[in-house]
Amino acid sequence: MVKDFDGGGALIEQWLKNKDTVLFLGIWEQINNPDFNSLEFEGIKNEAGRNSFYLSAKKWIKATNAKGLIASAGRYGGTYAHKDIAF
C-alpha cells in the first residue's frame, strides 16, 4: 500500500512506533497465532509510545514469532501484512 509513496518504509516504521498499533498487532496475533510469544509482546507493549522506542517489522516478527506481518529482503522483497491488518 505504501510502496509508491516517497519514504514508504519510514511510514511503516512510524506506524509500528505507535502504542495503539502495537496493541492491535498483539491482539490480532493472540487470536490468530497459537505460536505467538506473549512474554516478548508484553515487553514491547510496555516500551511502545516512548520517544526512544523503535520497532521494525523484522524485529517484531523475530521477537514475537508473528505471522501477521511478513518482511523480506531482495529484489521482490518488502513488508507485507495479512489483509485484516493491512486494511
Count the Cβ atoms, other than its own, within 10 Å of residue 1.
12
CA distance to 4, 32, 54, per residue, from 22 (Å): 24, 15, 11
According to the model, what pLDDT value does residue 30 have? 93
Taking the C-alpha atoms of residue 87 and residue 78, their distance in angstroms, rounded to an integer, is 17
Taking the C-alpha atoms of residue 64 and residue 36, their distance in angstroms, rounded to an integer, is 6
Global confidence as pTM: 0.74
> Quick one: cell of 45?
507493549
According to the model, what pLDDT value does residue 7 have? 58
> Quick one: cell of 5?
509513496
Which residues, given as ranges, of the chain have pLDDT below 50? none
